[in-house]
Amino acid sequence: MQNNPKTYCFVTNLSFSKEPTVKNRLLPYITQAIENGFKVTLVTSDLEVFSEIDNSSFTHILHPSRIERPNSFFIRAIFEWNEARSIFKSLNELDIEVIILTIPSMFLLFSASLSKCKNMHLDVRDLTWEYLSSKKTTHNIAKFFFRMLANWSFKFFSSIVVTNKAEIDFFKKRNISALMYLNGVSLEQYKDLSTLPRKKSKEFTDSYVGKVGIAQNLKTLIAAAEIIKDVKFNIVGYGTEYNKLKDLVLSKKLKNIDFYENADWEAVLYFYQESDVLYAQLQESFSGAMPSKLYQYLNAGRFVIYGGGSQAKKTLSNFSKNIVITPDNVEKLVNAIKKSRNICSKELNFSDNLEIIKHNYIREDNVRKVFQEWSKI
In the chain, where the domains are located? 7-184+362-374, 187-359
Domain with residues 187-359, CATH architecture: 3-Layer(aba) Sandwich (3.40)
User: What CA–CA distances, in Å, run from 1 to 6, 97, 121, 122, 178?
Assistant: 10, 10, 11, 15, 16
Predicted structure pTM score: 0.88
Asked if 345 and 318 touch (Cβ cutoff 8 Å), the reply is no
As a whole number of angstroms, the distance between CA 301 and CA 76 comes to: 39
pLDDT exceeds 50 at position 220? yes
* For range 12-41, the mean pLDDT: 93
As a whole number of angstroms, the distance between CA 299 and CA 331 comes to: 27
Q: How many residues does the chain have?
A: 377
Q: What are phi and psi of 258, to 5 degrees?
A: -120, 150
pLDDT exceeds 60 at position 354? yes
- Identical topology for domains 7-184+362-374 and 187-359: yes
* For range 275-297, the mean pLDDT: 90
Query: SS3 for 202?
Result: coil
User: Who contacts 232 (Cβ-Cβ below 8 Å, separation ≥6)?
Assistant: 201, 203, 204, 205, 206, 256, 257, 258
Higher pLDDT, 126 or 227: 227
Q: What is the 3 state secondary structure string of 21-67? A: HHHHHHHHHHHHHHHCCCEEEEEECCCCCCCCCCCCCEEEEECCCCC
**Count of other CB atoms within 10 angstroms of residue 255:** 10
**pLDDT (0 to 100) of residue 2:** 46
Give the model confidence (pLDDT) of 88-142 as tens digits: 999 999 999 999 999 998 999 999 999 999 899 999 998 988 888 777 888 889 9
Question: Count of alpha carbons within 13 Å of 154, Cβ hemisphere only?
Answer: 19
* For range 205-217, the mean pLDDT: 94
Range of weakest confidence among 83-92, 309-318, 341-350:
341-350
pLDDT exceeds 60 at position 348? no
pLDDT exceeds 80 at position 346? no
**pLDDT (0 to 100) of residue 42:** 97
**pLDDT (0 to 100) of residue 307:** 96
- Reported for 77-83, long-range contacts at CB under 8 A and 24+ positions apart, including other chains, are 77/107, 77/142, 80/13, 80/105, 80/107, 81/107, 81/110, 81/111, 83/13, 83/107
**pLDDT (0 to 100) of residue 1:** 44
* For range 83-88, the mean pLDDT: 94
pLDDT exceeds 80 at position 349? no
Give the model confidence (pLDDT) of 253-272 as tens digits: 999 999 999 789 999 999 99
pLDDT-derived band at 345 (thresholds 50, 70, 90) equals low
Domain 7-184+362-374 CATH (choose: 3.40.50.300, 3.30.930.10, 3.40.50.2000, 3.40.50.720): 3.40.50.2000
As a whole number of angstroms, the distance between CA 50 and CA 156 comes to: 29
* For range 34-63, the mean pLDDT: 94
